[in-house]
Amino acid sequence: MSLKKSIFVIILVLLIDQISKIYIKTHFSLHQELRVFDWFRIIFVENKGMAWGFELPGNYGKLLLTLFRVVAISGIGYWLYDSVRKGSAAILTFCIALIFAGAFGNILDSILYGLIFNESTFVQIASFMPEEGGYERLFYGKVVDMIQLNLYNGTLPEWIPIWGGSHFSFFDPVFNVADSAISVGVFLLLVFNKKAFPKT
């Protein structure tokens, strides 16, 4: 896949990701939810750290995490450029473009959102570019998440060993479009591994 097509994929994912995040941030209060289907709901949460809510401790934990993301995405960007330059398989460059776009989308939240939004609370909906300034400093923003796919929520059949008869919920984590792009990119690399990395 050419560099132009890769850039198009990145821009498209970033637009969808950032438009959805800005809309949720400026129209939903914290933890407000909209149930679309029994298994799909929109719920506004903010993630201070990495995936699954993991946080680095201390005042500089968030800063170190953001700086690590910047270094990581620089490496992904070079991998994409090098793959295009070498004429690698289209599936490889497509997947790298998805991963790059997803990582960059979440980095934008971490770097800028603390400056361009005020605080979201259970009773207050945030404003874009408030006169009083943002809720945090540069590099200390929170990542906006809003998608939850609760594919199963009920009691497991009695015949299942160990867990039978107990309550089970799948899939509980709340994520965003950027997370989805990263997950899809990694999944496709695993599925089409032989096409992405052909033996010479």
Q: Provide the pLDDT for residue 187.
A: 97
Who wins on pLDDT, 65 or 34? Answer: 34
54 has pLDDT over 60? no
Q: Provide the pLDDT for residue 129.
A: 94
Quickly state the pLDDT bin for 65 (edges 50, 70, 90).
Answer: confident
Active site residue 38: no
Chain-centroid distance, C-alpha 57: 21
Mean pLDDT of 165-186: 90
Check: CB of residue 14 under 8 Å from CB of residue 101. yes
Please give the Cα distance from 199 to 118 (Å, whole number).
52
- 112 closest CA partner among 6, 11, 22, 52: 22
Quickly state the pLDDT bin for 200 (edges 50, 70, 90).
Answer: low
- Which residue in the list 82, 109, 172, 179 is annotated as catalytic? 179
- 140 closest CA partner among 82, 61, 73: 61
Active site residue 109: no
Other CB atoms within a 10 A radius of the CB of residue 58 amount to 9
Domain count, the chain: 1
- Please, what is the average pLDDT of the chain? 90
Q: Which domain holds residue 132?
A: 3-196
Strand positions, DSSP E, 59-133: none
Please give the Cα distance from 180 to 12 (Å, whole number).
13
Mean pLDDT of 62-78: 89
- Which residue in the list 17, 109, 145, 172 is annotated as catalytic? 145
